[in-house]
Amino acid sequence: MDNHRLNKYDLLLLCVFAYLIIVQLFAIWPFTIDDMYIPLRYAKNWVAGEGLVWNPQTPPVEGYSSFSFVVLGAIALLWGIDPIVFLKAAGCVGLIFTVIAVYWIARFNLNRQQAFIPCIGLLLYVGQIIWAASGLETAVYEA
């Protein structure tokens, strides 16, 4: 069998992946964890020229857990994009890269079809989906 061509089983597995990712993310998308608003508040004040502060005209306090998510939130605000959607989308992209990485690592010891098994297991764990679409940095850091 040619290792570079997709057969019907590969296509079926890719459809399972698409289903698991798209349907689950669509179902959980309305859920937003309230802790996501912490880096967004810092980002809002930073973009407004107040600095990395919780409240304007107060001494800076590092109350966020992820400077990179403050930066991503600030980028979204500067570009005029809804920062909640932007950070949630970043988590979803992180989930996709994590699945690709798991597949790639599994290919060291498994054939093409078998390498999909750990990826499907990853996507069946609801925590992966929840944290990817919640707005926190978990899925982005995982990738």
pLDDT tens for 73-115 read 999 999 999 999 999 999 999 999 999 999 999 999 999 889 9
pLDDT bucket at 1, cuts 50 / 70 / 90: very low
Q: Where are the domains of the chain?
A: 9-142
Can you point out the beta strands (E) in the chain?
A: none
Show contacts of 26-31: CB within 8 Å, 24+ apart.
28/129, 28/130, 28/133, 28/134, 29/88, 29/133, 31/130, 31/133, 31/134
For residue 47, pLDDT over 90 is answered with yes
Neighbours of 88 (CB within 10 A): 24
Long-range contacts of 70-73 (CB under 8 A, 24+ apart): 70/39, 70/42, 70/43, 70/46, 71/43, 72/43, 73/39, 73/40, 73/42, 73/43, 73/44
What mean pLDDT value characterizes the chain? 91
> Regarding predicted confidence, which is higher, 61 or 4?
61
SS3 sequence, 61-90?
CCCCCCHHHHHHHHHHHHHCCCHHHHHHHH
